[in-house]
Structures are given as C-alpha cells and as structure tokens.
Amino acid sequence: MQTRARLVPVVVTALVAALAGVGALVWFALEPTRDAAANGAHERSSADAKSGAAAESTRVDEPVAAAADSPAALDAARSEEETTVIPAGYVLVVVRRAEDKEPIAGATVFWADESGLTLERDRRGSNESYVDPNELVEAVGVRVTTDARGRCLLGPMVVTDRVTSHGGLTICARHDTQWALVETFVTTDRRLVTIDLSDADVIRVQVLSADGTPLPGVVAVFGSAGQDMRQSRRALSEGRDAIATIRGVKAFTRFFSDPDAMQWGVSVALPLRTRAFTTIDLDALPKDPVVVRVPACGRMTILLRGRDGQVLRRKARVTVTGYQRLESTSGASTAPSGPSVSTQLLVAEDGGVELPFVDVGLALDVSAEVDRADAGHALLAGPDAVGERKVASLDVDYGTVKFVGMLLRADESPAAGERVELRVVGNRNSMVRRSGVLPYEEPESGEGTTDAQGKYSIPVPVVGSGPNSFDCELLVRSATGLDRRLAAIAVVAAKNGDAFMGTLHVPDN
C-alpha cells in the first residue's frame, strides 16, 4: 500500500519513464546511420578477447569500401552527413555476424549492470571466475530483441559524463548457435556498442540415459578430470535431443596456471559414484555434440519443513553434495566417505526438490538457505537400489516470531490506536559467513494495532528463531493521515522467544 508521502516520487518516476519511452519511439522513427563512427565506442569484448575471435567485435561500424557510383557508396556518403539519434538514458547495440558483418535481425540481447551481477554471484556463492558470464547476465539481465537492422536499445538507465551510475554494463547476444559477450563502461559520449557473433569457442553436449534416451534438464559440465566440479563452466541440456551449449571453454581454461597439463572434458552435475567424463581436444573442438551417458540410477525427493512441521512455502536454495557412503558392520550408514562426487545447487519453490538421478549407495550432505540465511543442514542416505524413489525431509529454521514493542509520542504519551505495518528486512547473525550483512531477498511483513498503552505484538514469519537480532522497518499509519517510517532492531533473547523492539518514539512531523 503506497503512502501519501510516497505517491509524489512514484508519479514523477512514472512520468520520467513515460518520457524515456517516447524518446525511444522517436529514435526508432528516425533513420540512423549505418556507421556512427563518431561515437567511438571502444569496448572490451570478453568473449572475443578470451577465445581469439575478431577483436573488432566491440568497435563501432566502419564504412565498407565500394565503387564511387554504387548504391552502397551513395548510402555511405549519405550516412556520413547524418548523426545517429540515441535517446537520453539509452545505449544503442548493433548485432552482426562476425564473418561478413551483416546485421542479425531477431538476435536476443541481455544486459545487466555490475551491481545486479554482483548480487547474483553472491547468491550462488561461487568464485565468479567459474561462473559462465553469459548465463549469469541471462539470469538477471533485461532481455531485448534486435530489429531488422540488427539494432536494439538498452535502457532506460542513468548515464553520466563518466560512467553509468552502476559502474559498468555486461551485454551478451546470441542467435541460433552464435554468441558473444561484451563488458563495457558507458558514458554520455560512448553509447553505441557493436557485437559480432560467431560459433567460436563453444561445445555442445548431448546427455543420454544408459539406454540412449535423451535427458533434458540435466546440467552439463566442462572442466578438468579430477578437479572440483564447482570449478567448471555449465549449461542445461534442453530440447527434445537434450543438447547443452557451453560457451567460452577455451577462455575458461586460461583461469588455470598450467591448462596444457590438465585433461579437459565434459561430464554432468549429478550425484554419481563414478564421474561420467568424456575427454575433449581443445585444439580441435568437436563440431557435433559430445555424448555423455548417465548410468541407471535411483531418484530422491527432499522435502523442506518449517518449525511448525509443515512443508515450506517459500523459495529456498538447496545445496546437495554427494559422497561415497561409509559402510559399517551393522549395515549402510549416512556418513560420507572420501572426496565429494558432485555438488548441485537447486531451487525449491513448492516445498522441496526433486533429484531424478541419484546413484545408489551415496550419502548426501544437504543444506538450505532462505533469504540468503542458513536455514538447515542434514546428512541423508540416498537410494539403495536402481529405480528406487526415496523421500526424505530437511528441517528448516523458518517460522513465525512475535515482534513486540511500544510506541510513544514525542511528549511521552502512548501512541494508542495506531495501525503499524512491520517489515523484517534482515537477520544480523545468520549471514556473517560472507563479506558484510545482506538483506532478505523477500522480506516478510505483518500488521497490527497499538493498544491503549501504545504496545503492539505482530507475528511475522522469518528465518531464524534466536537468540538473534533482526533489522526491521515500521510504518506507522496515523489516523491523522501522516504516516511515519521508523527503523529498529528486534532482539530475540532466547530460542523460539519473542523479538523485543523496545520503546520507539513517533515524531510529530
């Protein structure tokens, strides 16, 4: 619910967005030049720099030589007299084929600023060197499509005389099997980026079952034999033929000190006792898909249950690491033995995750995060036989906590009968494992009314039940029509206790 105090900036923001949209329409109505060399966008193409593709993929188009009386020469001369019109707050992207510099209509372009990518890297908890930057920007970026001239506009965004307010842009483009990526800074004088697409530095992987059935939805992995599978480039097998496209494989190997001494190949991110690994010759990347076969397995369902014992109805991130199971004289044990055989990061949105392929005889180390906070951990035994479906539960520290406190006015009188909306935005003690304290991704909220003494008790479902502390925001919706927003820290002194917010004063103005 918007307050009166917040309506004005919302309306202004809407007007600015509308004007920016009108600017974009005006730009498309004008005839842009083919070359626009004056904009001089000298960007750095990560995909080309690492794979050895054409270095000019990030430069502004240059005029193509033609006979003086040819139509092409006349068009080039005419274009030199015109200036490309790019609406304020937008970036123009031109997508071409690398081999002939022809524009590509219908290419898919994703773009994201550095702040958004940083949050996504942190969410995954991975060294950014091992995250496919193409997949990363596609996961969090804004998607647009090129027009008949191979052009599209990115924006609106804040562009200053120095760089974008976000510190830089990552732009990736793809069309069929061709792709490229650009990491660039954009200023008021540098707002045109040209991206040339090619098939270089890419492999395709087909994932099949033991009987040859395609298995879409499996994560294919490029990496080194014997290396931690988390240090890899990945892609999801898709379509009827279960083909995964992994980009930038040669570029990825350069992150390692002695890549020539390592054995490179493809596998799958599944909990298997024996890693399904197919060797790849980097000097002669295969044109056809490389086949990886998954052995006959069991399957597993892991349910997430909150403090009330009910299935969790919140998005959670589940990490599953497979180990050889330690056998004992009394029978199978859930205790892990030796190095891990795989690690999977899964997202639970309906109370659990499904693992359709789990090798028999494994111990699974399972942990869950809700709102970036550690919420549960357990060792679970996987299937014992091929074809078996096992169901197990993981207890998650998520449930309702009562947030209690008192509101007084500036003159120390009780703020009675005030409607209070409480929003819990972060858990201070559960996230210190990483650099800094991160807010909840999806803050929960609750509402209540103060009594005659100005006291309130508002139940809110949160991660963590104490002893702990929470960062909170209170919106006091006064009967006089003047809303007040307060910040506070709620402290839980004992496990499963109330969260005490103390006494807060509501200012008169």
Q: What is the mean pLDDT of residues 462-471?
A: 84
Residue 266 structure tokens:
């493809």
Judge contact between 292 and 243, C-beta under 8 A: no
Query: Which CA distances in Å does 217 have to 80, 114, 235, 267?
Result: 50, 29, 10, 14
Residue 258 structure tokens:
């002695």
pLDDT at 60 over 80: no
Q: Residue type for 430, please?
A: S
Mean per-residue pLDDT of the chain: 77
pLDDT at 64 over 70: no
Q: Residue type for 263, please?
A: Q
Task: Return the higher-pLDDT residue of 386 and 135.
Answer: 386
Task: Return the higher-pLDDT residue of 167 and 247.
Answer: 247
pLDDT at 36 over 60: no
Judge contact between 361 and 325, C-beta under 8 A: yes
Name beta bridge partners: 342.
Answer: 322
Burial of 24: CB neighbours in 10 Å, binned 0-12, 13-18, 19+: middle
Q: What integer pLDDT is reported at residue 332 of this predicted model?
A: 52
pLDDT at 313 over 70: yes
Whether cis (ω within 30° of 0) applies to the bond prior to 467 is yes
Q: What is the mean pLDDT of residues 426-436?
A: 54
Q: What is the mean pLDDT of residues 196-203?
A: 85
Q: Which residues neighbour 190 within 8 Å (Cβ) at sequence distance 6 or greater?
A: 39, 40, 41, 42
Residue 156 structure tokens:
């609106």
Work out the angle at residue 173's Cα, subtended by the Cα atoms of residues 172 and 176, and round it to the nearest 5 degrees: 140
Domains of the chain: 22-197 (2.60.40.1120), 202-294 (2.60.40), 298-395 (2.60.40.1120), 399-506 (2.60.130.10)
When mean pLDDT is compared over 124-138, 218-232, 355-369, the highest value belongs to 355-369
Outline where 235-382 has alpha helix (H).
249-253
Judge contact between 154 and 144, C-beta under 8 A: yes
Sheet architecture: strand order including 316-328 = 331-348, 316-328, 362-370, 373-381
Q: What is the C-alpha radius of gyration for the chain, rounded to an integer number of angstroms?
A: 28
Instruction: Tell me the per-residue pLDDT of 409-425, one tens digit each, with 9 for 90 and over.
Output: 889 999 999 999 999 98
Residue 168 structure tokens:
């830089």
When mean pLDDT is compared over 99-103, 337-341, 437-441, the highest value belongs to 99-103
Q: What integer pLDDT is reported at residue 276 of this predicted model?
A: 81
Q: What is the mean pLDDT of residues 3-25?
A: 41
Q: Which of these ranges, 66-75, 290-299, 324-333, 450-459, has the smallest mean pLDDT?
A: 66-75
Judge contact between 375 and 440, C-beta under 8 A: no
> How many CB atoms lie under 10 A from the CB of residue 217?
11
Name beta bridge partners: 243.
Answer: 206, 238
Instruction: Tell me the per-residue pLDDT of 118-156, one tens digit each, with 9 for 90 and over.
Output: 777 766 654 444 556 777 888 888 999 999 999 999 988
Residue 39 structure tokens:
């904009």
Q: What integer pLDDT is reported at residue 167 of this predicted model?
A: 52
Q: How far apart are CA 66 and CA 68, in angstroms?
A: 6
Model-level pTM?
0.64
Q: What is the mean pLDDT of residues 108-116?
A: 88
pLDDT at 76 over 70: no
Residue 388 structure tokens:
């078996």
Main-chain dihedrals φ then ψ at residue 183, nearest 5 degrees? -110, 125
Task: Let me know how long the chain is.
Answer: 509
Q: What percent of the chain has pLDDT over 90?
A: 37
Q: What integer pLDDT is reported at residue 251 of this predicted model?
A: 75
Q: What is the mean pLDDT of residues 442-469?
A: 90
